[in-house]
């Protein structure tokens, strides 16, 4: 279990500046690479069943890694002040999460729980889900993914506190190596009020049912 608890300065330093992605290979280059991988697997790239696979993979990659084209902080630019001074925890639970492990290109599948304590403004709840998606749709480590979501929300929204908990299973563990199924990894990041107040952390974890 990984637990991130950053102070203000550390959180600010951890918030990565958005940069444009490097040039992506064109369709022909991608398809050629996929044909090589099919051959490396021991199959014939020209076999009828896989002849269209390179084109399908190219399309899938555009979807799986669409997060590189998104500036996550911009998703939080529009906020609302009509919350009548609400300053308690806002929690969006069970956000579906699909990502890709950067070490083996294997799937990471699970759910994210995102909570924040607003200062004076709130953000639309769909933006919390989109924030998770923007970082998940990249090559990732779960620990880094958790921190990126938390620090972006904390710094961009100016929240008094942010908590992010992710539970996920990793294909690199269940389909190769130790081949263990039913194992999930839990990562947490506490910032601001959640970092400083153990009672808030307990309350949040209880509302998540102990992360089960």
Closest CA to 110 of 82, 140, 80, 86: 140
Is 104 one of the catalytic residues? Answer: yes
32, 37, 43, 45 alpha-carbon torsion, rounded to 10°: -10
Q: Which of 104, 143, 203, 211 is catalytic?
A: 104
Is 101 one of the catalytic residues? Answer: yes
Q: Which of 142, 148, 167, 189 is catalytic?
A: 142
Is 142 one of the catalytic residues? Answer: yes
Q: Which of 12, 27, 77, 103 is catalytic?
A: 103
The distance between the two most distant Cα atoms of the chain, rounded to a whole number of Å, is: 64
Q: Which of 16, 143, 172, 211 is catalytic?
A: 172
Q: Which of 16, 102, 143, 203 is catalytic?
A: 102
Give the C-alpha separation, 4 to 141, whole Å: 14
Could you tell me if 107 and 101 are in contact, meaning their C-beta atoms sit under 8 angstroms apart?
yes
Is 113 one of the catalytic residues? Answer: no
Is 84 one of the catalytic residues? Answer: no
Q: Which of 4, 101, 148, 189 is catalytic?
A: 101
| Interior/surface letters 122-160, b for 16+ CB within 10 angstroms, e for the rest | bbeeebbbebbbbbbbbebebbbbbbbbbbbbbbbbebb
Q: Which of 16, 63, 140, 170 is catalytic?
A: 170
Q: Give the residue numbers marked as catalytic.
A: 101-104, 142, 170, 172
């Amino acid at each position: 279990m990984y637990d991130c608890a950053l102070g203000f300065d550390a959180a600010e330093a951890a918030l990565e500046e958005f940069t444009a992605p490097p040039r992506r290979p064109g369709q022909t280059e991608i398809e050629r690479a996929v044909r090589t991988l099919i051959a490396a697997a021991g199959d014939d790239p020209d076999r009828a069943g896989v002849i269209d696979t390179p084109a399908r993979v190219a399309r899938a990659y555009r979807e799986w890694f669409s997060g590189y084209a998104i500036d996550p902080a911009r998703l939080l630019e529009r906020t609302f002040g009509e919350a009548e001074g609400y300053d308690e925890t806002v929690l969006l639970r069970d956000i579906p999460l699909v990502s890709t492990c950067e070490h083996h290109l294997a799937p990471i599948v699970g759910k994210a729980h995102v909570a924040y304590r607003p200062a004076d403004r709130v953000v639309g709840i769909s933006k919390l889900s989109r924030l998770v998606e923007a970082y998940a749709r990249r090559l990732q480590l779960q620990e880094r993914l958790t921190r990126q979501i938390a620090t972006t929300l904390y710094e961009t929204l100016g929240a008094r506190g942010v908590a992010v908990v992710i539970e996920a299973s990793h294909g690199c563990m269940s389909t190769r190596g130790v081949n263990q199924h039913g194992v999930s990894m839990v990562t947490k990041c506490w910032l601001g009020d959640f970092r400083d107040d153990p009672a808030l952390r307990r309350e949040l974890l209880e509302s998540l049912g102990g992360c089960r």
